[in-house]
Amino acid sequence: MNDDQLLRYSRHILLDAIGIEGQARILASHALIIGAGGLGSPAALYLASAGLGKITLVDDDTVDFTNLQRQIMHTQARVGMDKAYSGQVAMAAINPEIEIVPLKQRLSGSDLDNLVADANIVLDCTDNFATRHAINRACVHHRKPLVSGAAIRFDGQISVYDLRNDDAPCYHCLFPEGEDVDETRCAIMGVFAPLTGIIGTMQAAEALKLAAGIGQTLGGRLLLLDALDMEWRTIKFKQDAACAVCGPSGNVRSGEYLRQADADRAPAASVCRSG
């Protein structure tokens, strides 16, 4: 770490739990952020400011005027610009020393799998259940920790799935794919602007803890926020022994799921932003 870095990250280094070694691990980490909207905006900005060494930001959309109420990474001057590249501009303005890889891309099985394989930490900042499950399968396959957040109306949630551990639950354990779910989006239902900031910032905090190797993550705990009454609830959960994704009978860890998906020529998954 050079003198400029020692100064820039001095407030982290002063924390006993992080110190020089923890900050060095942050600098050496690579985070994949999928979604550059309401959640991805604060998550990306805080990871950049904290010096996370490489950030790959994936989003297939462009900045819209209606995004500006809550997607703080984007500006009115960049309306119409690809969100991934708008995010790169914003992060580079805060910290030009880190490596930022913007990707405007609709993710198919192999592309998503390769992106997850190359990262140390994955942040799911999307609002589409099909995409969330695809991300989860790739993280289970490559044993990558997944930080997942969601926000709609006044309701937010966040959890961590540390899939480096054999007994860790995955997203499918908590939200089984194929079950009836109420999939609503802020374009229809609306979203409270600061809510995405709260959840997205917490995603950054969990990712930084994972990168530095400190503290206790939200693994096995789902935090639920009612921002209208500002009340938090915690739900504890464990791995589902019958989980078709991370359980012993699943075919995800072996990669068989990916070979089957490619053989079936599964359609690309849209990267939808939560918020």
Q: Catalytic: 186?
A: yes
Quick one: three-class SS letters along the chain?
A: CCHHHHHHCHHHHCCCCCHHHHHHHHHCCEEEEECCCCCHHHHHHHHHHCCCCEEEEECCCECCHHHHHCCCCCCHHHCCCEHHHHHHHHHHHHCCCCEEEEECCCECHHHHHHHHHHCCEEEECECCHHHHHHHHHHHHHHCCCEEEEEEEECEEEEEEECCCCCCCCCHHHHCCCCCCCCCCCHHHHCECHHHHHHHHHHHHHHHHHHHHCCCCCCECEEEEEECCCCEEEEEECCCCCCCCCCCCCCCCCCCHHHHHHHHCCCCCECCCECC
Candidates 186, 243, 246, 272; catalytic one? 186
Catalytic residues: 186
